[in-house]
């Protein structure tokens, strides 16, 4: 269908809900891409997937305070609204929802989603309260934007699983689609936080994707030991001078429980700090099929 040149930007919950209901009453399908802004090609790949699958594409930009711990980077999280809106405009987004904190969390707000079991480990342990904040804001967005589909990135592997499980467990009538991680040419997974990296840190950070490549070749080369793969990835990180490793995991891609013996696909999850910047990356790897 023909799209206008500029997205409509809405800030009020009532406005976005009415706009989305109107699209659906007109028989149009909608896809939503939730983001925290500071957009890059990873986010745009989700927009493109929504454009391809739905009549109407909606993006949300909201730096969700509920998912940041007091020690984390809420205050300094990059905010680039003008360029974000330009990027969304040139990628055929119809509607952008940019709520204020006070609209999402008015005085007296006190109801939170208890996240599913897949939220327990890894990010759940490293960032207490993180998935509670994510699940709460995503469920709020799903109520404000009663969309057909919602698009998430595999970059945040555990987050996508948490949302899938939440939607299943709580009977949310929205189809969740997960899109592959978009990387820089040298392998670094795109992230809004990459802009914090100095040039030497930017080079160091390549150890994350190198570690994943190493895990892939180990698995494809017949390595069966999850622990050996974890050790291999840790070695790649430490040899690059990355010592602040939150976790390296070889886990079941559905349950995220650690895998001792690799007999099928596993997800390799990494979280580490490069300088003061916390980076995450992951890949699904497995024995080569002959």
Shortest Å, Cβ 147 to ligand AMP: 14
Q: Which two tokens stand for residue 210?
A: 């190198």
> What are the distances in angstroms from CA 131 to CA 117, 137, 160, 284?
11, 10, 11, 21
Stretch that binds ligand AMP, among 82-90, 147-155, 246-254, 258-266 (CB under 6 A): 147-155
> What are the distances in angstroms from CA 99 to CA 76, 83, 147, 227, 258?
18, 17, 17, 44, 38
Of the candidate residues 7, 124, 153, 253, the single one contacting ligand AMP (CB under 6 A): 153
Give whichever of 121 and 155 is closer to ligand AMP, judged by the CB atom: 155
Q: Does 36 bind ligand AMP (CB under 6 A)?
A: yes
The DSSP element (H or E) to which 81 belongs, if any, is helix 81-89
Give whichever of 82 and 263 is closer to ligand AMP, judged by the CB atom: 82
Closest listed residue to residue 59, CA positions, set 151, 132, 194: 151
Sole residue written with tokens 């399908």: 29
Site for ligand AMP in 170-189 (CB under 6 A): 179, 181-182, 189
Q: Does 57 bind ligand AMP (CB under 6 A)?
A: no
- What's the rounded Cα separation, in Å, for the pair 252 and 250? 7
Of the candidate residues 10, 31, 44, 45, the single one contacting ligand AMP (CB under 6 A): 45
Q: Does 191 bind ligand AMP (CB under 6 A)?
A: yes
Q: Phi and psi dihedrals of 289, rounded to 5?
A: -90, 125
Task: Look up 243 and say whether it is catalytic.
Answer: no
CB-based closest residue to ligand AMP: 153
Q: Does 42 bind ligand AMP (CB under 6 A)?
A: yes
Q: Does 278 bind ligand AMP (CB under 6 A)?
A: no
Q: Are 79 and 36 in contact (CB under 8 A)?
A: no
Q: Does 253 bind ligand AMP (CB under 6 A)?
A: no
Stretch that binds ligand AMP, among 8-16, 40-48, 116-124, 230-238 (CB under 6 A): 40-48
Q: Does 99 bind ligand AMP (CB under 6 A)?
A: no
- What's the rounded Cα separation, in Å, for the pair 256 and 250? 8
Closest listed residue to residue 43, CA positions, set 211, 213, 150, 182: 182
Give whichever of 133 and 153 is closer to ligand AMP, judged by the CB atom: 153
- What's the rounded Cα separation, in Å, for the pair 18 and 233? 49
Active site residues: 43
Residues that bind ligand AMP (CB under 6 A): 35-36, 42-43, 45-46, 152-153, 155-156, 179, 181-182, 189-192
């Amino acid at each position: 269908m023909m799209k206008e040149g500029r997205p409509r930007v809405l800030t009020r919950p009532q406005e976005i809900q009415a706009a989305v209901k109107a699209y659906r009453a007109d028989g149009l399908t909608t896809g939503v891409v939730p983001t925290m802004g500071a957009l890059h090609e990873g986010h745009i790949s989700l927009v493109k997937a929504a454009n391809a699958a739905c009549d109407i594409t909606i993006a949300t930009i909201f730096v969700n305070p509920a998912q940041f711990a007091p020690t984390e980077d809420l205050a300094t999280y990059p905010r680039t609204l003008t360029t974000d809106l330009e990027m969304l405009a040139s990628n055929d987004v119809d509607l952008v929802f940019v709520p204020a904190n006070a609209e999402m969390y008015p005085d007296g707000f006190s109801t939170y989603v208890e996240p599913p079991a897949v939220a327990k480990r890894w990010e759940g342990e490293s960032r207490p309260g993180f998935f509670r904040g994510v699940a709460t804001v995503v469920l709020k967005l799903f109520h404000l934007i009663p969309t057909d589909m919602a698009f998430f990135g595999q970059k945040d592997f555990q987050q996508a699983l948490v949302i899938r499980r939440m939607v299943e467990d709580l009977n949310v009538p929205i189809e969740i689609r997960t899109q592959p991680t978009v990387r820089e040419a040298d392998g670094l997974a795109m992230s809004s936080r990459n802009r914090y990296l100095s040039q030497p840190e930017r080079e160091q950070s390549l150890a994350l994707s190198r570690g994943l490549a190493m895990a892939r070749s180990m698995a494809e080369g017949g390595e069966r030991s999850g622990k050996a793969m974890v050790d291999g990835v840790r070695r790649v990180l430490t040899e690059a001078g990355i010592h602040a490793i939150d976790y390296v995991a070889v886990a079941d891609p559905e349950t995220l429980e650690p895998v001792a013996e690799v007999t099928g696909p596993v997800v390799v999850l990494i979280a580490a700090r490069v300088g003061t910047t916390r980076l995450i990356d992951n890949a699904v790897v497995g024995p080569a099929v002959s």
